[in-house]
Structure 1
Amino acid sequence: MSTEPRTVTINILVTKPLEIDEPEWCAGHQEYRAEFKPDLTHNGPEIAATFNTPHGTVDYLCAWISQAPYGSLAPEPLPVIAVEIDGTAVSLDPAGVRAFTATTRAHLDALDRLADEAERLRGGGRP
């Protein structure tokens, strides 16, 4: 049996304030906590389309500018546009947003065609 003291190395999470530059479009960091520097994210004000239904107001197509300046997934810390689709925020560059809006416009045209067909089936809107 050894008489040497035993040692062990344990990784611990140390927290301390970190001062970072904030872009002018960032909406602020109230109550924001990040465990690691790559988790830091700047988010701009959210925009959303709002539609009033007989059952209440629905917000959809929420979007905002977002930037993770120390993120490890992007080769450059450039701002992206986060678009919430089906409850998931998808990060898109400007070309990706334009592709998304073109697809959405085509879908809206299809919805108008459905409305026309439903109106025809209902006898021109008469019950």
Structure 2
Amino acid sequence: MTTEPRTVTLTTADHGEITLPEPSWCAGHSHHDPQTQRVDLIHASAVVECVHLGRTLLAAEIVQSPYANFSDPHLGGQAAGVSVYPLGQTLDPTELYSLAADLDRFSDKIRSLADQLDALRGDGQ
């Protein structure tokens, strides 16, 4: 077993081959396009999905863009974050906990609607 840090070498359109550290959570770069600019290189984890009736309602993955040069952390960046679809933003841990709390509240509302519908249908309406 090696203790060497993992690295990956990717071809870029503007800087040729780039070798960079690869985080242990990165799912790999099998879909890497060699025409990608260095600034657009991204590490991404496996996707976590909420699927209902065959449709993806939410999806999330850890992402990191080691050469990013933009200042809006919701677009991703050099620090790892979690990209959430369809929100279209990258969230930090505090924002993820807030999203989870909002989803818990939404789940309670959906259960309440299910209870109301069950009662309506039970009354023959």
Structure 2 unaligned runs (5+)? 1-12
Q: C-alpha root-mean-square deviation of aligned residues, in Å?
A: 2.3
1:77 paired with 2:48, answer no
TM-score by length of 2: 0.74
State the distance in 1 between where 2:109 and 2:70 align. 36
After superposition, where does 1:58-69 map in structure 2 within 5 Å?
A: 58-69=55-66
Q: How far did 1:81 drift?
A: 0.6
Count of equivalent residues = 108
Worse-matched range after superposition: 99-108 or 33-42: 33-42
Match for residue 16 of structure 1? 16
Distance 1:106 1:22, change over 3 A: same
How far is 1:14 from its partner? 4.7
Q: Secondary structure at the match of 1:45?
A: coil
> Computing the radius of gyration over CA atoms, which structure comes out larger, 1 or 2?
1
Structure 1 residue runs of 5 or longer lacking an equivalent are 1-12
Quick one: structure 1 residues 84 and 14, their matched pair in 2 at CA, closer, same or farther if it must change by over 3 Å? closer
Amino acid at match of 2:59: C
Q: Percent identity?
A: 27
Richer in helix (by share):
2
Q: Secondary structure at 1:72's aligned position in 2?
A: coil
User: C-alpha displacement at 1:18, in angstroms?
Assistant: 1.4
Deviation (angstroms), 1:15 = 5.8
**Partner in structure 2 of residue 45 of structure 1:** 46
Note the alpha carbon deviations across 1:2-39, whole angstroms, 9 max, x for none: xxxxxxxxxxx656221111111111111312532210
Written as runs of structure 1 = structure 2, the 5 A alignment for 1:1-127 is 14=14, 16-33=16-33, 35-51=36-52, 53=53, 57-74=54-71, 77-85=78-86, 88-123=87-122
Q: Which is richer in strand?
A: 2
Once the two structures are superposed, what CA deviation does each residue of 1:37-67 show, in whole Å capped at 9, x if it has no partner? 210110011111233x4xxx23332111000
Structure 1 residue 118 displacement after superposition: 1.1
Alpha-carbon offset, residue 89 of structure 1: 3.1
Q: Matched residues in 2 for 1:14 and 1:77: separation?
A: 19
